[in-house]
Amino acid sequence: MSIEKVRVSSEVKDLDDIKLLEYLCKIDSDETYKEFVNRFYDDVLEQCKIKCKSRNIDSHIGKQIAHEVFERVRKYKSFDKSKLNTKNPRNAIIGWLYRIIIRLFYDYHNSQKKEEVPVNSYFDDLAAEAESIDVENLAFKRDLSIIILRKLNKKEKEVVLTDLEHKRGQKYLPDDITESLANRLGVKKPTIRKIRERAINKIKLALDEIKQS
């Protein structure tokens, strides 16, 4: 799916980027919409291609999402000039569009989770180990979880809980989820793997201690 670039009047073409987007959000004009697409489609598509490559997604999904970005801009008209750094209007708008791209990829990821075939993750291994413990009721499971989580520091706990929320049905966290997690923890993306490894070792050790008690 793609968006065809077309000619527009000189009046619309002479609008600066900010005024063009403001006009698009204020008045539903086909001509203004087409001009906005003409100016920003290549940038949006390039960002979508980068996201597809980093997440090993077919490029046609990126083209589809690029199309949906502009449809969403036109439909929801949520642009707010006051929230942008207008020293470089074009870059500010591209940054605003990038946030829409991120949300659409997140939506795509959630839609795919329902269709994915589950694969073994380290949580499956931990669950298998836990099965050998005589767990008689949910209260015991709850207490067991509390004991294990107390072994983890704040960052380790955040990584584990994020994995539990998003890492079902696939082996790796989506790139945008990892990026968001790294930003929340104030670390670089490769550090997430090290934090996860420490958390796994602590969880396994806690399970061993419980078995031997």
101 and 186 part of one domain:
no
- How far apart (Å, rounded) are the C-alpha atoms in residues 39 and 26? 18
Residue 5 belongs to some domain of the structure = no
Residue 57 belongs to some domain of the structure = yes
Rg (alpha carbons) of the chain, rounded to whole number: 23
Number of domains the chain is built from: 2
Task: Return the DSSP state at 124.
Answer: H
- How far apart (Å, rounded) are the C-alpha atoms in residues 187 and 115? 32
Q: Which of 78, 113, 148 is the last residue of a domain?
A: 113
Q: Helices 154-166 and 189-212 meet at what angle, rounded to 10?
A: 90
Asked if 34 and 8 count as a contact pair (C-beta separation under 8 A), the reply is: yes
Q: Which of 68, 94, 113 is the last residue of a domain?
A: 113
pLDDT digits (tens, 9 = 90+) for 47-98: 999 999 888 888 899 999 999 999 999 999 989 888 887 789 999 999 999 9
pLDDT digits (tens, 9 = 90+) for 105-153: 988 888 877 665 555 555 555 555 555 544 444 555 666 677 778 889 9
Query: Stretch 24-36: mean pLDDT, rounded?
Result: 90
Q: Tell me the whole-structure pTM to 2 decimals.
A: 0.54
